[in-house]
Amino acid sequence: MHELRKDPLLGRWVAVVSDSKSPDDYRFPTEETKETSCVLCPGREEETPPEIVAVREGDKWWTRVIPNFRPILHVEGDLGRKGLGMYDKMNSVGANEIIIDSPEHNRQPEDMGVEQVLRIIRLYRDRVADLEKDQRLRYILIFKNSGKGAGAAYSHPHSEVMATPIIPKLIKEELDGAKQYYAYKERCIFCDIMREELRVGERVIFETRDFFIFSPFAPKFPFESWIVPKRHGCAFQDITDSEMEDLSLMLFTVLKKMRRVLGDSPYNYVIHTAPNRIPRRNHWHTLGDDFHWHIEIMPRLVMMSGFEWGSDFYVLTTSPEDAAKYLREA
């Protein structure tokens, strides 16, 4: 089994796989080939791990959820927390799932219409709600890697679910920042950001009945945008049916706008939601008040340099105000 190790200086966890790669395993082809089919396509279901859930109409499936072919985290087993001298480690218990976003190999959900995007969002909600029941798990992250430049393992449209026995460092920093702001002002920082952005307007891309999308004041990446629900809530899985319909329209529209402005550039999006409160229910005293779930969309337009990697200090080659203007007008 793989293992999780904790960095004692920064407090972050990393996964160390049991079957280490050799240097030759990191040499990739210089030319990218355009696939027309793959193991995630219809007709090859017997070649994938056993299906977890799917959305079907008759004999046709619209989207499927399967375990990852080579999972970093495994559902089986216990955490096995232990010390190794001054270091801490545990077994890589969790979940690592692939959500196949489209039955068509070279067609993204937004190209199939709003209804397909809605099917995907419903699956996102259902997977979080199901995995939250496992008391070994502390955090559930849903994300999409689109394109090799964004880390996609397959060219077929897909998203992924990673459920971890720890709260990842970046998420914990966001939770702590929101909690500190609430302790000082007794207001949700995300709600305050939303009010300020809607008041100023120059970084707002567009808004719907239940959501708004904007370019953050100080993002990490050019053309980064955030989708924030107008109704305060800390947990994505608490989204209502009408909000899911509205979010589908929001995500459908912004992905279309991004393609018009940026072409087929690789991108990631992630859903930041509340951690699993079941194992430590009494620990999260103000989480329902201070945190606000949201989606972060990050086009991968520039390569990170040693400065960014070494300092966590980012250089933006397009201002958030200009990025919002380009996307707003697309």
As annotated, the active-site residues are 158
Q: Order the strands of the 3-6 sheet from edge to edge.
A: 13-16, 3-6, 87-91, 82-84
DSSP class of 74 = B
CA dihedral 38, 28, 169, 211 (to 10 degrees): -50
Helix locations, 219-319, DSSP H: 241-262, 287-290, 306-311
For 134, other C-beta atoms within 10 Å of its C-beta total 18
Torsions phi, psi for 56 (to 5 deg): -125, 155
- 290, 274 in Cβ contact below 8 A? no
Contact in structure between 274 and 287 (CB atoms under 8 Å): yes
The size of the chain, in residues, is 330
Contact 255, 108 (CB under 8 A): yes
The amino acid present at 147, given as its one-letter code, is G
SS3 label, residue 223: coil
